[in-house]
Structure 1
Amino acid sequence: MTGRIIAHRGMSRLAPENTLAAFRMMAEHGVQWLECDVDLLGDGTAVLLHDTQLDRTTDRSGTIADLTRSDLEHIDAGSWFSPAFAGERIPTLDQLIDLLNALELNANIELKSPVGGAAAGRALVDTVLKALDRLDPDRRIILSSFNHLLIRRAADQLQGAPTGASIELACLFTRESLREDWRTVIEMAGAGIVHPQDRGLTRAEVETMRAAGFDVNVWTVNDPARANQLLNWGATGICTDVAHLLIRGSAGRRSR
């Protein structure tokens, strides 16, 4: 199995998702790429959290809009997964940047779609892009989103910007949103990568996307046989909860 193996929310079967513990664990398994979700707290701090609500993956209730950076040190984001991870915190994007540089990891950062209107969307994109300026030049980043207007914003902001770390843009699609106009959507968004859902994805679709010149990273694939099939069809990457298992099928080679 060859191709980019992307650890969905980090090593999320071995550690609490979207935490530094889940990302640090990648190095010991030879996984080079992580996927994470980024959104803004009420004070504009960029943090890694999938849900708007805190209940599922922390010991707090409410929404991230109710929080400020100073609240993070009092929130447990690990005990829900296992007592061994008690005290794990919701990471900030700045902490992720430091980790990527230190461990020489690459990241697919998903921009969550803010509920606070256009101003919130612009703030999210601009905050993330500013944070990425601190990346070492040899780091690689994919910014993705289901909200393709956020990707368009990122494309506009990156145009003519000084080059540092490699930043590519991707449009995420569910099975239902992957319609016949997918190429128009991607090109108008300014993206160069397609991130389709695995469910129902066909060989013809993958081959058409690749023939059109787009990389194709499929989410979320946890069956090694299916992952191998997709890569044989021409998919360039697999986003998975079990990167530690799929990486073994890559003959121990690091995915880049």
Structure 2
Amino acid sequence: MPRTIFAHRGLSSVAPENTLVAIGACAENKVKWFETDVDILGDSTPVVIHDTHLDRTTNRTGSIYDLTAEDLEGIDAGAWFGSEYRGQKLPTLAQLVELMNRKELNGNIELKLNGQGAEKTLELIDAVIAELGKLDEDREVIISSFDHLALAEFKRHAPQYRVAALMTPEMLATNWRSTLELMGAEVVHPDHAALTRENVKALKDAGYEINAWTVNTRGRANELLNWGVDGIITDFAHEYVDLEKEPQK
């Protein structure tokens, strides 16, 4: 059975996370899948960023919810990582979709928890669905989130896409079966620390694909693949992509 190696926030160990250069580098390193994060700006433009604030990964401070698309030109999302990446921008989802089509990449897109309320969460869902409609038909997408209610709503609006429930160890220790069935999930994305051989088997027996995050040691990646995990989300996808062929015993 084929395995999948996902580049966590693009090739984030060698380029600034969630930028077009980090995600585009997947193609040059034979990594077919990436994982990234999407939220919306104040004008409801979907943008690729992990945090709700700019402070950690840009030259600006403040909430992304105070921005519009016009503000993106003045924000540097690369210099914090290295001077050679100065000038990298926060990508819009539209720019990411164009890159996916051009580089023939597949994406796991995480809907971020939106603390502004249901209306903004629904705007995020609608905006993501609209942009994904511009993907070439041979591109593949998984939509994931820790917000399981939002994920269920996304699945209701766009049943053609696979959805993946992100789960902490605490979530996986409780009634995961009902949660997954109610949201219509086909995939589970658990914290790898939560996984044992036994619960991998239980999830697989229930019919779910499992992609574990964030696995940054080769030994742990091999162990999980040998247990039957389908995919590994890692900061070192370019170093682990050979594991897609056959797990090492």
Q: Normalised by the shorter chain, which TM-score bucket?
A: over 0.9
Deviation at 1:250, TM superposition (A): 4.0
For structure 2, the residue ranges without an aligned partner over 5 or more in a row are: none
- Preserved CA contact (<8 Å) 2:4 2:244: no
- Spell out the pairing of 1:173-184 with structure 2 (5 A cutoff): 173-184=167-178
Deviation at 1:251, TM superposition (A): 5.4
The question of 1:67 aligning with 2:61 is answered no
For structure 1, the residue ranges without an aligned partner over 5 or more in a row are: none
The question of 1:230 aligning with 2:224 is answered yes
User: What's the secondary structure of 1:27's corresponding residue?
Assistant: helix
Deviation at 1:155, TM superposition (A): 1.1
- Spell out the pairing of 1:69-84 with structure 2 (5 A cutoff): 69-84=69-84
User: What's the secondary structure of 1:176's corresponding residue?
Assistant: helix
Q: Which residue of 2 aligns with 1:133?
A: 133
- Spell out the pairing of 1:82-121 with structure 2 (5 A cutoff): 82-121=82-121
Letter in 2 for 1:223: T
State the distance in 2 between where 1:196 and 1:123 align.
26
State the distance in 2 between where 1:28 and 1:88 align.
18
State the distance in 1 between where 2:243 and 2:212 align.
17
Q: Which residue of 2 aligns with 1:151?
A: 151
Deviation beyond 6 Å, 4+ runs, structure 1: none
- Preserved CA contact (<8 Å) 1:53 1:62: yes
Deviation at 1:177, TM superposition (A): 2.0
Q: Which residue of 1 aligns with 2:33?
A: 33
Letter in 2 for 1:10: G
State the distance in 1 between where 2:226 and 2:101 align.
32
Q: Which residue of 2 aligns with 1:53?
A: 53
Q: 1:188-215 CA distances to partner (integer Å, 9 max, x unpaired)? A: 0111101100113101011110110000
Deviation at 1:180, TM superposition (A): 2.9
State the distance in 1 between where 2:2 and 2:88 align.
33
Q: 1:63-87 CA distances to partner (integer Å, 9 max, x unpaired)? A: 1011110110100000000000000
Deviation at 1:225, TM superposition (A): 1.1
User: What's the secondary structure of 1:247's corresponding residue?
Assistant: helix
- Preserved CA contact (<8 Å) 2:3 2:243: no
Q: Which residue of 2 aligns with 1:208?
A: 202
Deviation at 1:2, TM superposition (A): 5.6
- Spell out the pairing of 1:153-172 with structure 2 (5 A cutoff): 153-159=153-159, 167-172=161-166
- Preserved CA contact (<8 Å) 1:15 1:21: yes
Q: How many residues align?
A: 246
Letter in 1 for 2:213: W
- Preserved CA contact (<8 Å) 1:2 1:231: no
Select the residue among 223, 234, 238 that pairs with 1:244. Answer: 238
Deviation at 1:179, TM superposition (A): 2.5
User: What's the secondary structure of 2:7's corresponding residue?
Assistant: strand
State the distance in 1 between where 2:194 and 2:118 align.
33
Cα RMSD for the two superposed structures: 1.4
State the distance in 2 between where 1:158 and 1:38 align.
17
State the distance in 1 between where 2:134 and 2:244 align.
31
State the distance in 1 between where 2:28 and 2:209 align.
27
Q: 1:137-182 CA distances to partner (integer Å, 9 max, x unpaired)? A: 11100000000011111111024xxx6xxx2101000112223310
Q: Which residue of 1 aligns with 2:180?
A: 186
Q: What is the TM-score when the length of structure 2 is the normalising length?
A: 0.96
- Preserved CA contact (<8 Å) 1:10 1:23: yes
User: What's the secondary structure of 2:54's corresponding residue?
Assistant: coil
Letter in 2 for 1:8: H
Percent of residue pairs bearing the same amino acid type: 49
- Preserved CA contact (<8 Å) 2:172 2:194: no
